[in-house]
Amino acid sequence: MKQKKPSDTPRAIIRILTMAALTLCTLPSWAWDEGVPLALAKLRANQLGNLRYQLDVTLPNERTAPVCGTVEISFERKGKDDVTLDFEGRNVDKTCTVNGVDTDTEWTQGHIRIAAALLREGANSVRIGFTADDKALNRHDDYLYTLFVPALAHTVFPCFDQPDLKARFTVNLRMPEGWTSLHSDASHPIPTYLFSFTAGRFSEATALRNGRKLRMLYRETDPKKTAQAHDIMDEAAQAIAWMERYTGIDFPWGEYGFVVLPGYQFGGMEHPGAIQYNDSRIFLDENPTQQDRITRTSLIAHETAHLWFGDLVTMRWFDDVWTKEVFANFMADKVCRERFPDIDHDVNFLKAYQSSALATDRTEGTHPIQQPLDNLRDAGLLYGNIIYNKAPVMMRKLEEQMGEEALRKGLADYLRRYAYANATWDNLIDILAAHAPGCDLHGFSDVWVKQRGLPIIRTRYEDGQLVVTQSDPYGRGLCWPQRLCMGLYMAQGDKVRTVDVDMRVPEVRVPIDREPYVVLPNYDGSGYGRFETSATALAVQGYAWQVMPNKLHRYAAVMNLYENYLMNRMKPSELLNTMNTFLMNEEDEQVATALCSYIGSVYRDIDSDSKRFFEYYLYNDATTHPLPSVRKQLMRLLSTSCLSETICDSVYHVWQERTDTLLGEQDYIQMAYHLAIMRPAQWQEILQIQRERIGNEDKRREFDFVSRACNPDPDVRRQLFESLLDPTNRRVEPWAARMLALLNSYAFEPQSNEYLRIGLDALQDIQRTGDIFFPTNWLHALLGGHVSEEAGDIVNYWIKGRTGYPEALTNKVKECAYPLLRAKRGI
């Protein structure tokens, strides 16, 4: 990237200061800050009601042509103040119509003022013509879809863009010939973030389940994948039926419509009547693993649960956005228990939620489940592992405190009381507390929901007692109320005995008859925290496959081994050898695939020479392990990260001949990217062969965009990296993240270290212009391939130099940089 000359800098600063001063001088007195400030939202919530939007939108043939339309907004008004609309699109008509009277449009700082003199008490209407910004339209050559969460509707049309101003929507789309469309349910009021429309060239499938119509739009062309439509509809119908039974409330919307989108930036989004899903999560490869099938069911159940939690009852403000996510995941876990009765779902809960929650909560970048929010423009920073994964752990603990039936009745009461309206977490806690008067749920909430972090839990034997202590790593004196299960291994060859511990205070003493050989903390994995474990106990857990017949206990042992490794209580070589031996003897798929994940995490931590050595063991497991899911997972790991020339040759043969039938098309595409990087003399040949194998045009476009990062010329890669600093080149965010990850591949260090500071400096722009998950995805792609001390120094120096930087963004960096910054032990 061309740098400014030193003499340019003062001039640039003067220009910026001059423009800022002029802006301050010319802003009208009524102007609000950009975005949707909390103060404005509170004013409007007290001022407005009975909202309706009637949209008329023209979608042009050419992707680059502007999207224009008109919106007529009807509402009832109380009081005598002006009314302020939100709009950050490209343009609005110079005049608008208010209650039948044409007037000049006052548009400043992303807001449109409707003067009080034009309004009346009671019913009002405003009609405005607009030209939309493309940011939330997700436009492609022959289709588009809108995605407005958390507050992007006002980038397309003028509206009151806040969750507690629900409205009924009608929309007329003027589309190119041959296009079809799907839009949100119009039968009940919804907030702007839940309104959506999709239009373009799609195939369509419909089904009738339990008397209800299900409609699916999709672009996938592989007949083996599209044949899964029947199963997908079945899973959606099962999730609906389960939610109806659990809540006692019938399906609260009309048609169950959804669209399956290529390159979609989320897993899914819960617009009622127009749910959006990521195609790679819905259409499974020919040989899906058990976890692939569970993941799809969980995703469908998650978005379906939102139709009750989030859509029927919506949070009042986005500081409580987690309340809809916690119940979507909490209910998804329960739906999966019904659909997969042969799976140990306590193990699956630990894999799906607890492990991911720890990944953030152990870092300096952690935060409370409930976070403050002053402006909806920053709402995207609230999303992450804490609200998606720690919150379900918290909810499981709450259910443990009050009882499963009391929780179910309390939730049903909550849904009925606030149906088609808004509520807060505190509203819900008040209801739940009434259903469980013997529990201190408000105190529970204060610690689990409103404070950050997790406890450090230690055990010891003392005077005929098992002593369990809990400490707050931030010195606040907090105690996280929860029940724990401790294993007592009394002597070698004995069975493990268990002791239940109800931790409502920082220290609990439980009488036991004699001193155990070792205490195995968190024996069933359900305890939440970091469990410091003795070296002897870690050695016993390393042979869990011999001493623990229950797979839940073995999985908990694996989880604890890894956590103690991260606390520098085990060396990488020790843990890799332990887990590899464990894997060779593990016969259960759930535990074995978890071992693969943890092995992959430790493998990424070690230096290049150690990686090359350990790859031989990984390749042996990837080709000989009796469980197909293990072979598939380890081959995926090696095919995207191997460094050894011998193993690269073996992977190349697998890719060239496509001999591994467990792998799908996307696996072979990822393999081609890595091989092109590792074999620079053949990079063009490899990519050309892979391109010719891709039959779907959407996937080919993605491949053409991403594969450029495999170029062996550092100058070309540098230009590609610089291109990603332009928001127009990040339009399809998953593609941009995949390209960035390849540019920061292990194989390109140390040259790729030059991207780190620039990529971190771009983070505020990434947050401002991207969707809610993109800042985290950008950071993982930027940092994930770096292991060098130089890279760690660059990132650490950058963090220390961020005075006055947004705390939420700094926390994202600390979280994503944790593997790079964590003190490593020698191998």
Mean per-residue pLDDT, 185-193 = 96
**Are residues 813 and 759 in contact, defined by beta-carbon separation less than 8 angstroms?**
no
Mean per-residue pLDDT, 291-298 = 95
What CA–CA distance (Å, rounded) separates 652 from 668?
10
Q: Check whether 780 has a pLDDT greater than 80.
A: yes
What's the pLDDT at 30? 76
Structure tokens at 412: 């049903």
**Are residues 520 and 540 in contact, defined by beta-carbon separation less than 8 angstroms?**
yes
Q: Check whether 474 has a pLDDT greater than 60.
A: yes
What CA–CA distance (Å, rounded) separates 633 from 289?
9
3-state secondary structure of 737: helix
Indicate the DSSP class of residue 67. P
What's the pLDDT at 517? 93
The CA-based diameter of the chain, rounded to the nearest angstrom, is 88
What's the pLDDT at 4? 37
pLDDT one-digit tens code per residue, 29-38: 778 999 999 9
- Residue of 503, 498, 444 lying closest to 470 (CA atoms): 503
Q: How many CB atoms lie within 10 A of CB 435?
A: 20
Amino acid in the structure at residue 513: D
**Crossing angle for the helix pair 628-639 and 589-605, to the nearest 10 degrees:** 20
Residue indicated by tokens 């349910």: 185
Structure tokens at 3: 């740098």
pLDDT one-digit tens code per residue, 544-566: 888 899 999 999 999 999 999 99
Amino acid in the structure at residue 561: L
**Are residues 246 and 338 in contact, defined by beta-carbon separation less than 8 angstroms?**
no
Q: Who contacts 166 (Cβ-Cβ below 8 Å, separation ≥6)? A: 51, 189, 190, 191, 314, 420, 421, 422
Q: Check whether 214 has a pLDDT greater than 80.
A: yes
- Residue of 521, 548, 556 lying closest to 355 (CA atoms): 556
Q: Who contacts 135 (Cβ-Cβ below 8 Å, separation ≥6)? A: 152, 155, 769
With cut-offs at 50, 70 and 90, classify the pLDDT of residue 767. Answer: very high
What CA–CA distance (Å, rounded) separates 147 from 128?
22
What CA–CA distance (Å, rounded) separates 139 from 198?
10
Element (H, E) at 632: helix 628-639
What's the pLDDT at 545? 81
**Are residues 136 and 87 in contact, defined by beta-carbon separation less than 8 angstroms?**
no
pLDDT one-digit tens code per residue, 108-146: 999 999 999 999 999 999 999 999 999 999 999 999 999
% of the chain at pLDDT higher than 90? 92
The CA-based angle 40-45-51, given to 5 degrees, is 115
- Using only C-alpha atoms, the chain has a radius of gyration, in whole angstroms, of 28
What's the pLDDT at 261? 98
- Residue of 41, 33, 69 lying closest to 53 (CA atoms): 69
Question: Which value, to the nearest 10 degrees, does the dihedral of the CA atoms of residues 551, 552, 553, 555 take?
Answer: 80
Q: Check whether 786 has a pLDDT greater than 80.
A: yes
**Are residues 357 and 389 in contact, defined by beta-carbon separation less than 8 angstroms?**
yes
What's the pLDDT at 9? 40
pLDDT one-digit tens code per residue, 709-718: 999 999 999 9
**Are residues 799 and 818 in contact, defined by beta-carbon separation less than 8 angstroms?**
no
Strand order in the sheet with 256-261: 203-209, 212-218, 256-261, 275-278, 268-269
Over the range 329-339, which residues count as b (16 or more CB within 10 Å of their CB) and which as e? bbbbbebbbeb
